[in-house]
Structures are given as C-alpha cells and as structure tokens.
C-alpha cells in the first residue's frame, strides 16, 4: 500500500460535494481524469472516502488479479475509516491523502481472513504508508474582516504580523472614513486576538472571524526543532498518548 497527497483543490471539491461516494461511477471517474489527471481505470476503482464515508481522503484499489480480495474489502474499508479518523502523527483526522492498495497476500484458510485479523492489519499498513510519505500537519485558517478608521490600519498590520496572519485586501467604505481590512489568520493564533487588536488600535477596530480553509503548517513534524513537531508533542500530551510519533519499526510485522 502507498500513500500520496491529493492534487490541489481535490479535498475542497470533496468538501463541497462535487466529488462524492454517491456520484455515478463513470461520471466521477471522468471528472477526476479531466480535472486532476487521474488514470480513468484507477478512478473507477475507488473503494471509499473517509473518515465517515464522506471525508477528504480516498482509498483506491489498483491491484491486479488478487484472490479473495472482495472478501476482505469491507474489513480494509473499516480499517481505512479508523486510520483516517485517528491519524498516525497525533490521532487527528487526515486530510487530502490518497491510499493505493498495490498488492495483497492472503491466507488460504478463510478463518484467517476475518475482520478481527484484517481491520487492525489494514490500519497499521495505512499508518506505515503515511509515515513513509513525508506527512505534514494542516491547520485551520480564519478569514478575518476588520472594520476600522484609516489612522489605526498600521496597528492592525502589526498585530497580524505577530500572529502569523497576512492581509490580502484593504478597501475604503465609500463615503465614510472607515476601512475594511481582510486577512487570513491561523485559528491557533486567534486566542486573545480581539483583545490584542483593541489595545493596539485604541478600541477602534472591530474584527469578525469565520473559518475559511485548511493550510499546511510549514516545517517537518519529524524535525524536533520545528513548529509542527512542537504541535504534535503538545497534542499527544493532551490526549495522553505515548511521547513522540510512532517509529516505522513499530509497523514492521513479520509472519
């Protein structure tokens, strides 16, 4: 099994419902082939979306001539739903990952192909494929709209720069001295943002925050000095998980 990231825009299309499990098979395959250059044969062999059957991750069967594969399909799908809901890094939802099943070797005896054996095995295999595919953390981003008089716009830029935000639009409200500043702000940095903004603008700026999109948090979670590594460590501690991302050796099972 191998994991790879989605092309840009596909996760958003799944969120909007333009690509979903309920779509007609050929229509979905054509859409993925035309817009995202998927192989049509592979796009027709999507097993499921996850987590919860609708999330922005896909499991695709690209095996050739594997015996008994249909017998274990439901168990592999269950393992996929479990793994995408509780990811490998810190047991948070995965997003924008495509998993391809390349090959399966199954026990000839049907009693050893039950859900009890296959579900945890599939989950461990999915985790291992994520860890070998250079995973990254994603963070939610707010769209912030701030109304303020012209003389305090400089103070707003200062606060946003300190909180990893960036302004993408600034406009004056016609016929008034008020300005509207639009910016993106990471949700993680938004705590205390309103109070900070008010204190830097003399209480003249009024922000409104709404969730806008997900964005990759720059840096490698496996590099101990990076910001993502710190976030992973904090999240694992909060959830009472073992310290550190599980090593790849944990998933090296031998018969």
CB-CB contact of 157 with 179 (8 Å): no
CA distance 186 to 139: 7
Cis before 8 (ω within 30) = no
pLDDT band at 255 (very low <50, low <70, confident <90, very high): low
Rounded to the nearest integer, the mean pLDDT of the chain is 90
pLDDT band at 62 (very low <50, low <70, confident <90, very high): very high
- Tell me the domain boundaries of the chain: 2-131, 138-216
Of the candidates 213, 150, 147, the one whose C-alpha atom is nearest the C-alpha of residue 184 is 213
* pLDDT, tens only, 29-59: 999 999 999 999 999 999 999 888 889 999 9
Of the candidates 80, 74, 31, the one whose C-alpha atom is nearest the C-alpha of residue 55 is 80
CA–CA distances in Å: residue 28 to residues 18, 39, 56, 74: 9, 12, 15, 21
* pLDDT, tens only, 141-169: 999 999 988 888 888 888 899 898 989 99
Q: Which residues pair with 4 in a beta bridge?
A: 98
CB-CB contact of 154 with 170 (8 Å): no
**Domain 138-216 carries which CATH code?**
3.30.70.240
Structure tokens of 216?
Answer: 């990759």
CB-CB contact of 205 with 197 (8 Å): yes
Mean pLDDT of 15-35: 90
- What is the reported pTM? 0.85
| Contact partners, residue 78, CB within 8 Å, separation at least 6 | 115, 119, 122
Strands 206-216 and 138-149, by their bridges, are: antiparallel
**Domain 2-131 carries which CATH code?**
3.30.230.10
Mean pLDDT of 18-35: 90
């Amino acid at each position: 099994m191998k994991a790879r990231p989605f092309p840009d825009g596909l996760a958003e299309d799944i969120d909007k419902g333009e690509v979903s499990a309920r779509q007609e098979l050929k229509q979905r395959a054509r859409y993925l082939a035309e817009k995202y250059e998927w192989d049509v044969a592979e796009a027709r062999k999507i097993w499921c979306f996850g987590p919860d059957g609708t999330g922005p991750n896909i499991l695709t069967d690209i095996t050739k001539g594997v015996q008994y594969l249909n017998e274990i399909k439901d168990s592999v799908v269950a393992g996929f739903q479990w793994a995408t809901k509780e990811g490998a890094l810190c047991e948070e939802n995965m997003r924008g990952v495509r998993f391809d099943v390349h090959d399966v070797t199954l026990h000839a005896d049907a009693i050893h192909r039950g859900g009890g054996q296959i579900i945890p095995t599939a989950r461990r295999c999915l985790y291992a494929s994520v860890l070998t595919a250079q995973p990254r953390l994603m963070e939610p981003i707010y769209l912030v709209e701030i109304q303020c008089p012209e003389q305090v716009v400089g103070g707003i830029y200062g606060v946003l720069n300190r909180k990893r935000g960036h302004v993408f639009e600034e406009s004056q409200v016609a016929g008034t001295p008020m300005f509207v500043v639009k910016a993106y702000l990471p949700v993680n940095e938004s705590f205390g943002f309103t109070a900070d903004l008010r204190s830097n603008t003399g209480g003249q700026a009024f922000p409104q925050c709404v969730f806008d999109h997900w964005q990759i948090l720059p840096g490698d979670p496996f590099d101990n000095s990076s910001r993502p590594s710190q976030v992973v460590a904090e999240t694992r501690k909060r959830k009472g998980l073992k310290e550190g991302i599980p090593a790849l050796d944990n998933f090296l099972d031998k018969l």
